[in-house]
Amino acid sequence: MLLFVIPAALLAAAGLIVPVLIHLWRPPARTVRLGSLRFLTSVPGRRLRDLRWRDRFLLLVRVALLIALAVLLAQPLWVHLAQGPQRWALRSSNATFDAATRQVWNGLLAQGYQPRWLAPGFPDAGGDTPMPTGAAIDAWSLIREADARIPTGSKLTVFAPPRLSMLQGARPVLSHSEATWISTPSGDAIAPPAWLESLSLARDGRGLRARIGSSSEASTPSSMLLITLPLDATSVSDPATRSTLELRKTNESFAGRLSAPTPEPWTPARVWRPVRAAIVHGPSRAEDARYVAAAIRAAGEVADREITLDVREETTSTILPEADWVFRIGVAPLSAPLSRVLAENNVNVVTDAPLDAVEDASPSWFVAPQNPVDVNAARLWKRVVAARDARSVIWSDGFGSPLLIFSREGRAERWQFLSRFHPEWNDWVRSGAFPGWMRTLLLRDVDALDYSTHDRRLADARQVLLARAGPEVESVSLSQPADRTTGLHAWIWALVALLLAAERWLSLRPASPRPAAVSLAPKSEPGRAEVAR
């Protein structure tokens, strides 16, 4: 395969317009007067034709010389392809073959297709090689990788269910191969589209609560069921997901798994300790405390976790309750010794706007990123102006002023909200983002659930049509082993030298003498001259 290091240098071949123009331009013939034209062979048509033909040959040599020089400038390389085009049949691990698909698969193998798993490294899918398990399949990425691995002109046939979760990112544009996606059944008919998301002891300790996620080809994996089981149950069937939950009790701990039809690994039940929260508010901040208390309760409900809440108004004799979290609303700052004591007991403190702070009533907004559902900014009507200090600013308002400040004292956390938990100050406290933030703050249980492994949704068939890159896409094959390249400079130099010599010889050689011609015609009629040879 011929490659050019500097293809733009081929434009130099445009210089061949010069010899073409030179050859097109014929200088007018010199005029010589003779006594008689009688002895001149007067076959001008033939003569000129001969002349042009010879010139044309010279022109060809000159054009070839210029093209050779242009090619030389472009630095040609001859690429020895390490291997010829290949044909791969790629099967994803979640693809199940029905009879028709099996027939296609076997037909391809009979044609010489290599059976490979659609998995990193593309292991051999024929024979005894086990099916790769584990990581989610990123089909687009794998197909792109396969295309880069195989030589140009190869063919890929992908056997996989067009599962949406496998098609992440941009659809690949293939530059070396032609790929065909053959949609297979996803195996969901056999394996239930449900999974045990979590198993935990109920709040009262007298039952187990299981979250079972489910997803089908049509529904998103967000539909989950929450079922409560007695402790002595050994198995329970969930008709909604057509799955069976097995339970096992060992040494006061429980574990569960979805068993039908294929057993999953055991998931141990988690035992949650109750979270203790206390709200201490000033005399005028009862309503603020109510919003906070409601958010804390809502968080416990949503997360199905027990949160004990102690709300009291601060008086001079108020003793700080034993708690994991203390919300101090509209009260004076803690004295340093007290704060230190709280820190030693790992008590986290959340405070709102200090009483003596200067209010800033210019409307603004802020985004609470803890709630990804509510992307709308919360409106902020009032806040207090705080002196900037070294403590880290977690949130800022729309003007960049600090709104939520975080610091640590020992292992304990100190949060300060520079506004009030009151709808007159912002509308955040009335949105769903507020209890969401409370859940994040207090329970820390919102894990990033990886739904992609359970997402059974299928993509539209048109989405798995794979496009072949146009010729404008320049791509170098990563086929292994690497292709060998040979520089063609020496050969082209030799060709240039040869052409140059030929050009010099053709342009400088004397005209070949022609055989004697005898003109018998009278000179007054040169056009009628006949040539007898």
Partner 1 sequence: MAAKIPDRQVIDPRLIAATRDLELVARKLVAGVLPGMHASRQPGLAREFSQYRAYQPGDDPRHLDWKLYARSDRYFLRESEIETTVTIRLLLDATESMQHADTAGPGAGLRKFDLARVVAAAFAWIAQAQGDPIGLHAVSKGGVVSMPPGQHRQLFERIVSTLERLEPAGTWPADPRSIAGVFAAGARTIGGADATREITIVLTDGHEHADEIRAALAPLRSRRHEILLLHFLGRDEIDFPFHGPIRFEEYETGAVLETDADAARAAFLADQDRHIREWRRAFEGERFHYLRLRTDEPLDRALRGYLLQRRRR
Out of 123, 132, 321, 526, the residue judged to bind partner 1 by CB under 8 A? 526
- Asked if residue 432 binds partner 1 (CB under 8 A), the reply is no
Taking the complex as a whole, how short is the minimal distance between the CB of residue 529 and partner 1, in angstroms?
A: 8
If phi over 0 gives left and psi between -120 and 50 gives alpha, with beta otherwise, what is residue 134? Answer: left
User: Position of tokens 């603004």?
Assistant: 364
Please identify, using beta-carbon distances, which residue of 23 and 171 lies nearer to partner 1: 23
Cβ at position 519, least distance to partner 1 in Å: 6
- Contact segment (CB under 8 A) with partner 1 among 23-31, 64-72, 407-415, 437-445 equals 23-31
* Residues in 178-197 that interact with partner 1 by CB under 8 A: none
Which of 2, 8, 24, 33 binds partner 1 (CB under 8 A)? It is: 33
Contact flag: residue 462 with partner 1 (CB under 8 A): no
- In the complex, what is the shortest distance from the CB of residue 497 to partner 1, in angstroms, rounded to a whole number? 28
Q: Given the rule CB under 8 A, which of 157-165, 245-253, 462-470, 504-512 is the region that contacts partner 1?
A: 504-512
Residue 532: CB minimum distance to partner 1, A:
10
Does the protein bind partner 1 through residue 99 (CB under 8 A)?
A: no
Closest distance to partner 1 from the beta carbon of 16 (Å): 25
Max Cα–Cα distance, the chain, nearest Å: 147
Among 35, 127, 134, 471, binds partner 1 (CB under 8 A): 35
Q: Decide: 67 and 495 in contact? Cβ < 8 Å.
A: no
Shortest separation between residue 524's beta carbon and partner 1, angstroms? 5
Nearer Cβ to partner 1 (14/40): 40
Per-residue burial over 210-245, b if 16 or more Cβ lie within 10 Å, else e, is: bbbbbbbeeeebeebeeeebeeeeeebebeebebbb
CB of 35 to partner 1, least distance (A): 4
Cβ proximity to partner 1: between 502 and 521 the closer is 521
CA–CA dist 43, 121 (Å, integer): 77
Bond before 265 cis per omega within 30 degrees: no
- Cβ closer to partner 1: 494 or 518? 518
* Long-range contact pairs involving 502-508 (C-beta distance under 8 Å, separation at least 24): 502/61, 503/58, 503/61, 503/62, 503/65, 506/54, 506/57, 506/58, 506/61, 507/58
Cα distance between residue 121 and residue 17, in whole Å: 53
Is the distance from CB of 66 to CB of 15 less than 8 angstroms? yes
Q: Which of 390, 389, 421, 385 is nearest to 403 (CA)?
A: 385
Cβ 65 to partner 1, closest distance in Å?
23
Instruction: Give the residue, chosen from 2, 24, 25, 30, that forms a contact with partner 1 under the rule CB under 8 A.
Output: 30
Q: Which of residues 305-364 bind partner 1 (CB under 8 A)?
A: none
Is residue 513 within the footprint of partner 1 (CB under 8 A)? yes
Distance (Å, rounded) from C-alpha 358 to C-alpha 345? Answer: 32
- Cβ proximity to partner 1: between 267 and 519 the closer is 519
Degrees to nearest 5, angle at CA 75 with 74 and 80: 125
Q: Interacting stretch for partner 1, rule CB under 8 A, among 37-45, 83-91, 314-322, 499-507?
A: 37-45
Nearest distance in Å: CB 22, partner 1: 15
Q: Does 251 bind partner 1 (CB under 8 A)?
A: no
| Residue 57 engages partner 1 in binding (rule: CB under 8 A) | no
Burial of 381 (0-12, 13-18, 19+ CB in 10 A): middle
Nearer to partner 1, 490 or 516 (CB): 516
Whole-angstrom Cα distance, residue 458 to residue 460?
7
User: Concatenated DSSP letters for 207-249?
Assistant: EEEEEEEE--SSS-TT-EEEEEEETT--EEEETTTTEEEEEEE
Judged by CB, which is closer to partner 1: 102, or 528? 528
Quote the CA–CA distance of 64 and 16 in Å, as a whole number: 9
Q: Which of 4, 9, 10, 38 binds partner 1 (CB under 8 A)?
A: 38
Work out whether 32 is an interface residue with partner 1 (CB under 8 A).
yes
Q: How far is CA 106 from the centre of its chain?
A: 32
Query: Phi and psi for 380 in degrees, rounded to 5?
Result: -125, 120
Interface with partner 1 includes 25 (CB under 8 A)? no
Asked if 98 contacts 161 with a C-beta cutoff of 8 angstroms, the reply is no
Burial tier of 77 (Cβ tally within 10 Å: 0-12, 13-18, 19+)? middle
Question: Three-state SS for 363?
Answer: coil
Phi, psi of 452 (to 5 degrees): -65, -30
With binding defined as CB under 8 A, does residue 484 bind partner 1? no
Instruction: Tally Cβ neighbours within 10 Å of residue 484.
Output: 11
Scanning 234-242, 300-308, 411-419, 522-530 for contacts with partner 1 by CB under 8 A, the matching segment is: 522-530
Of the two residues 103 and 507, which places its CB atom closer to partner 1 in the complex? Answer: 507
Q: Pick the closer one to partner 1 by CB: 2 or 511.
A: 511
Does 523 bind partner 1 (CB under 8 A)? Our answer is yes
Regarding 508 and contact with partner 1 (CB under 8 A), the answer is no
Choice from 10, 50, 365, 396 touching partner 1 (CB under 8 A): 50
- The amino acid at residue 75 is Q
Binding site for partner 1 (CB under 8 A): 28-44, 47-48, 50-51, 510-519, 522-524, 526
